[in-house]
Structure 1
Amino acid sequence: MEKLLEKLQENKYVLWILILTITIIWGYAWVLMKESLHYMGPFAFSSFRFGIGAVTLLLMVFFLKVGFPPRESWKHLIVVGLLQTAIVFLLVMFALKFVDAGKTSVLLYSMPIWSSILAVKFLHEKITPAKLAGLLIGMLGLLAILGGDIWMGQDVHVIFGELLIIIAAISWGISNVYYRIHVQHLSKLQATAFQMLFGTIVIFFVTLFMEWGEPIQLNADSVYYILFTGILASALCFFVWFVIISVVDMVTATLSTLLVPLFGLLFSSFLLNETMSFSMMIGFMLIITGITVAQLKQPRRV
């Protein structure tokens, strides 16, 4: 692993190709998540997806001889799994029944806004003028999307779905802060594998309770959606992502995730024929601008 990190640090072109590849896969995954609802319920798909993802990661843990996390960390991994895997994707997949895939990706990737707010309170990070301005701009973006839909008389189910996605983004932000406080000392692969395992268990029981007896169609398309999102988008991409953030600064890493909703919008537009409203475009630009501004470093005073 150390040799791989050294090679990536030496070859920045390979590093950026990896970043671009991951963000394209994550952006394309939104189309598959939306399309999967034609074949099964949102919770059943999440059970299949993260079940496959968790098994893949656990096999990587075994073959790479990473080992089990210490027992005192299990309760924290359960919390992270509940917040980051279970709550986020149960809410997002349910919301996808009503909300376009492209819009869902934009709203969910408002997560850095909520992470920044929570970091000030719980990680005692300073709220710089740049962060404050970025947060305000990002909030305006969310209001533009929600307010635009309300103003245009959008279906109440769509508004409800959008609110669920924002709650999911907040849950993701909480998990990031909780991870920094309680789990950061663990191996990245170890933490990802076991939090996904615990989150998947929660999703499985929710599926049994909410979707028992509902039809599940397993065919070439639906199996492809499960395998792509489970193995590639969930397991392998997260593993490569944690390798990447080990060799680049967090500002660069955070800014690169802004490509995900961009690709999500592009793929959804071309493959699902989704259209972007004016308020959607304004909201997207404001959220992207807000997150970018919040990441700016203040110049040092001489």
Structure 2
Amino acid sequence: IQGRSIRFKHGKFNALIGLLQTSGFFLFTSWAVLHAGAGKTSVLVFIMPFWTLLLAWIFLGERIQGLQWIAVALALAGLVLILAPWKFQGNHLSSVLAVMAGMIWAVTSILIKRYGKIHALDVFAMTAWQLAIGALPLIAVAWAVPAPPIQWTWQLIVCLIFSGFGATALCWVIWMYILEVLPAGTASMSTLAIPAIAVIGAALQLGEYPAPHETQGMLLVAAALALLSYLGVRQHRCDEPVLGQE
């Protein structure tokens, strides 16, 4: 519509982001949700803002200050309660995969932010190519792993369309744009409502209710996310007069 070119540029970088952000993130998230509750998996994945804060501090010079450290501590305490490492029985692979998915997302956010400071990136072209490249390993895995035949229904088709075009393509374009205009740590806060929606939805639709220690961990994570969100809004309000004077 806008006449933009989606010519393949920054090939190595697009391939790296595609393999990490599409292949790695979706593979680990899908694998985790198969063996753990959707709400729990979402909370573990969306601890991503805290990994982003730490990585942005190290690689982008976005310092963690004041109450942000309390938010990080609350999130890590919540993560420990959710993972419950003292419970050695059972399979913790799904929880580890969910945490790894969040870490991968944080790493790619830092890579995009850092690369974008040096090179001009078109968010539409980059999203298209990283999704296309990242889909290839996922197709190979889907082909190789045994699974029952797909039962095609209109509900499945609607879910695929929504997941493919809305929740994936559109949301990644928006995410790339947010990373382009905001600091990485601040941008990651825009994801904070997702785990809350996932936990409530999993309880209402799937009957998935977390164990007591998981609930305590989720509440700590929620408190940390709320604190980060408050700090982000406060910082934005403090910056507005400065921007207006410029």
Alignment TM-score, normalising by the size of structure 2: 0.81
Q: Which residue of 1 aligns with 2:4?
A: 66
Q: Say whether the 8 Å CA contact 1:76–1:183 is kept in structure 2.
A: no
Which residue of 1 is the match for residue 241 of structure 2?
none
Q: Residue 224 of structure 2 corresponds to which residue in structure 1?
A: 290
Question: Which residue of the partner structure matches residue 98 of structure 1?
Answer: 35
Alpha-carbon shift at residue 117 of structure 1 (Å): 1.4
Maintained 8 Å contact 2:6/2:124: no
1:255, distance to aligned residue in structure 2 (A): 3.4
User: What SS does structure 1 have at the residue aligned with 2:137?
Assistant: helix
Q: 2-side partners of 1:154 and 1:101: how far apart?
A: 21
Tell me the residue number matched to 1:81: 18
Q: Deviations over 1:4-30 (max 9, x none)?
A: xxxxxxxxxxxxxxxxxxxxxxxxxxx
Give the Cα–Cα distance (whole angstroms) in 2 for the partners of residues 214 and 273 of structure 1: 24
| Deviation by residue 1:183-210 (Cα, 9 ceiling, x = unmatched) | 4631222222221111111211222333
Query: Structure 1 stretch 116-125 or stretch 231-240: which is displaced more?
Result: 231-240
Q: State the secondary structure of the residue aligned to 1:97.
A: helix
Farther-moved stretch of structure 1 (281-290 vs 172-181): 281-290
Note the residue ranges of structure 1 that are not aligned, 5 or more in a row.
1-62
Q: For the residues of structure 2 that align with 1:223 and 1:107, how far apart are their CA atoms?
A: 28
Mapped pair 1:135 → 2:69: no
Q: Deviations over 1:9-54 (max 9, x none)?
A: xxxxxxxxxxxxxxxxxxxxxxxxxxxxxxxxxxxxxxxxxxxxxx
Shift of 1:128: 1.8
**TM-superposed deviation, 1:219:** 2.3
User: Which one of 189, 192, 208 corresponds to residue 124 of structure 2?
Assistant: 189
- Which deviations, in whole Å up to 9, do the C-alpha atoms of 1:117-167 show, x marking residues without a partner? 11122222223233322222111110011118x54x7632xx210111101
* Alignment-mate amino acid for residue 109 of structure 2: N
Larger CA deviation: 255-264 vs 239-248: 239-248
User: Paired residue for 2:82, among 116, 140, 145?
Assistant: 145
Query: Are the equivalent residues in 2 in contact too, given 1:77–1:183 (CA < 8 A)?
Result: no
Pair 1:167 & 2:105 matched: no
Distance 1:223 1:126 in 2: 45
CA distance in 2 between partners of 1:77 and 1:279 (Å)? 40
Taking the aligned partners of 2:82 and 2:61, their CA distance within structure 1 comes to 30
Q: Do the aligned residues in 2 keep the contact of 1:132 with 1:294 (CA within 8 Å)?
A: no
1:262–1:147 distance in 2 versus 1, CA, 3 Å: same
Q: Name the amino acid aligned to 1:116.
A: L
Please give the residue correspondences for 1:214-253 in structure 2 after superposition, counting only pairs within 5 Å: 214-240=148-174
For this pair of structures, how many residues does the alignment match?
232
Amino acid at match of 1:66: R
Distance 1:173 1:192 in 2: 16
What residue is the counterpart of 2:191 in the other structure?
A: 257
User: In the superposition, relative to structure 1, how do residues 167 and 241 fare at CA in structure 2: closer, same or farther (>3 Å)?
Assistant: closer
| SS at 1:216 equivalent | coil
The CA deviation string for residues 238-297 of structure 1, in whole angstroms up to 9 with x for no partner, is 445556777888777543421111111111111111112222222122223324445626
Q: Say whether 1:180 aligns with 2:80.
A: no
Map of 2:242 onto structure 1 = none
Measured in 2, the distance between the counterparts of 1:76 and 1:232 equals 24
Asked whether the equivalents of residues 141 and 285 of structure 1 are also in contact (C-alpha less than 8 Å), the reply is yes
* CA–CA distance in structure 1, aligned partners of residues 101 and 7 of structure 2: 26
The answer for unaligned runs of 5 or more in structure 2 is 239-246
Instruction: Rate the CA distance shift 1:280–1:259 in 2: closer, same or farther, 3 A.
Output: same
C-alpha spacing 1:263/1:145, structure 2 compared with 1 (3 Å): same
How large is the RMSD of aligned CA atoms in angstroms?
2.9
Calculate percent identity across the aligned residue pairs: 27
Are the structure 2 counterparts of residues 217 and 94 from structure 1 closer, same or farther at C-alpha, using a change threshold of 3 Å? same
